[in-house]
Amino acid sequence: MPTKPLEKLLYRELSKVSAKELIDIASPLLQELVNFSTNAFARCASSSKGKADEDLAVLILYLHVIEMTDAIEVLISQSCPAPAQTLLRSSFEATIYIEYILEKESEYIARSLAWLVGYVHSRLEAYRLFSPSAPPDRSVRKALEEHKSEAIQALEVKDPARAIENLENFLAQPHIQLVEKLFQEHRRWKWYQILDSSLSSLRALTRYLKREAEYLILYKQWSSISHAHDLSRFLARSSDGDPGFKALRDPGTMRLVTSHAASFMLRATRLVLGKFRPGEDISQWYATEVRERYMLITGGCT
């Protein structure tokens, strides 16, 4: 017979019922933002006029924000706002990257290609883990051989040598070479640091973009959940003052999570449309489909 949850700790239906009023606002709001963004993405992709690979970073990062926001909506609809904060963290990072890449038109191509080169090198590192001809490190090789699980086996590439060759050929292309040379000179640096040595961390990048407060107050809190280093959200006291644990699926942060998810999605959409479709006006859509629910969630305006 299937196991029933301890309802004192996990009561799924009651959680959704108790949060229904908020879910009925938050879920349609996020769905509308995601739906609109999928269409905006298609319009932007078709309007791309850049040369090979130049626009790929921003478009992929925009897709990432759309995907994270869609997943947040699924969690919100089930009254799971706390786990959704790990996705907010990812959405925030992608939005910061979009903003940085687009911040200076004169550096757009270099920044875009730097993100792409950084990604390619991360894939190369992964493929080399499974390549006998290019072992990354004896200790790593030994660890893989001794503790190979089904999960690791599922990630193995059938022909890592071919995959490595394809990526190395990509990095050898003329339009990639300038950024690739910088990467080789500073292999341990972040992708955004190879163009500006002062940007030594995500915090430094947010400071440069004047979004450091978001990093300090929000990102660090979301990171504590991502890294399983958060205590306070689980602790509670009874009416008698006895210590205990809060029930899972606590809707307490639902309004805040929805507000940030909507804000990042809107910010990303406006940035990307501003790049690829600068004449497109979304104010009417926002006024008719978004603003009322957004105001109800945030108590403010944007």
pLDDT digits (tens, 9 = 90+) for 144-188: 666 655 555 545 667 778 888 999 999 999 999 999 999 999 888
Q: From the CB of residue 277, how many other CB atoms can be counted at a distance below 10 Å?
A: 15
CA 139 to chain centroid: 31
Sign of CA dihedral 263, 269, 270, 275: positive
Q: Averaged over 39-46, what is the pLDDT?
A: 98
Rg of the chain over Cα atoms, rounded to whole angstroms, equals 22
Average pLDDT, stretch 286-298?
Answer: 96
Q: Span 128-143, mean pLDDT?
A: 65
Identify the pLDDT of residue 267. 98
Residues linked to residue 28 through DSSP beta bridges, in sequence order:
none
Burial (CB count <10 Å: 0-12, 13-18, 19+), residue 8: exposed
Average confidence (pLDDT) over 31-60: 96
- Maximum alpha-carbon separation in the chain: 71
For residue 300, the model assigns a pLDDT of 58
The whole-number average pLDDT for the span 12-41 is: 97
Q: Model confidence at 301, in pLDDT bands (50, 70, 90)?
A: very low
85 touches 256 (CB < 8 A): no
Distance CA 253, CA 219 (A): 15
Question: Does 302 have pLDDT greater than 50?
Answer: no
Give the per-residue pLDDT at 133: 64
pTM score above 0.75 = yes
